[in-house]
Amino acid sequence: MNTFKTLLLLAAMTALLMVVGYSIGGPQGTVLALVFAAVTNLLAWWKSDQMVLKMHKARPLGPREAPELMQMVEHLSRNAEIPVPAIYLIDKDQPNAFATGRSPENSAVAMTTGIVQLLSREELAGVIAHEMAHIKNRDTLIMTVSATVAGAISMIAQFGLFFGGGRDRPMGALGTILMAVLAPMAAMVIQMTISRTREYAADRLGAQICQNPMWLASALIKISNPNTMLVTAERFPTTAHLFIHNPLTVRGTDSLFSTHPDIRNRVAELQELAREMGQKVMTLPMIQPMQRRSPWGRRRGESHADGARRPSPWR
């Protein structure tokens, strides 16, 4: 269902692009708009992964720096049945993570130092599994396409506002002005709807990859806590939809203009999945973040927030 909805939304965005092109240049404008979108998508598909990693100053993490983390990544990638992605670290206190790459064979997972310090090993496994779900579902490609098409719509609409819109245009001057204002807004709504749809799908698949939905649910609660959002401004807001939690806000809503679903809704979905899997469902209030400590220092079998003692799943 999520795949069908995503394809439907991408089709709607493509149709909107064609309408914008037609409103400016008629049938020829439609063709030019599609060609422009195809070229921008090709460039984004080929270079977007390295571009976003450089934008956030992510550095590759070698196996000698965090051997247990790399073992975890290898175990989760086997569960996900994808090649082991490259791991990058971003020196930033704000706890967050994202996946990038044009295919599972050319993928990477980037994590901030804040999320590594904040979460337990199990919670971090839930986050990494969520990002691997994005890789397996090829969401990084879908989100790149939606972002570039949305950008193309905005650029073409603005071009028509300044250089077109005469009486000889299909929609006239007033129509061109309305299109220049409304089309980018419609494209943004469609793009954000795609983002929310893919987040729900990645939550579900990621929980299945790590084999415990409550690990990801607990991680989402900690990440979304206002006290953990130490960085309230983001240098590159165009990449906000890539992260597991929007870095531009301390709260999420399922509104038209939100890139991510509400955390409470995501946690509720994960709790329901845990019931379906026959697992114990923990009560997870919006708790204060735990004292920061390295997740690699936790002893196997150490008590967790729910009082249960669970062995590490990657050994």
Helix (H) or strand (E) holding 30, with range, is helix 2-55
Please tell me the distance from the alpha carbon of residue 195 to that of residue 6, in angstroms, as a whole number.
9
The helix or strand, by DSSP H or E, that contains position 161, with its residue range, turns out to be helix 139-163
Q: Provide the annotated active-site residues.
A: 131
Which of 204, 247, 207 minimizes the C-alpha distance to 229?
Answer: 247
Residue 273 token pair? 């999945």
Q: Which candidate, 226, 230, 234, places its Cα nearest to that of 114?
A: 230
For every residue of 50-92, DSSP letters joined together read HHHHHHTT-EE--TTT-HHHHHHHHHHHHHHTSPPPEEEEE--
CA atoms 188, 1, 276, 74: torsion sign: negative
Burial of 28 (0-12, 13-18, 19+ CB in 10 A): exposed
| Residue 149 contacts residue 13 (beta carbons within 8 Å) | yes
Helix (H, G, I), strand (E, B) or coil at 209: helix
Cα–Cα distance measured from residue 284 to residue 290, given in angstroms and rounded to the nearest whole number:
13
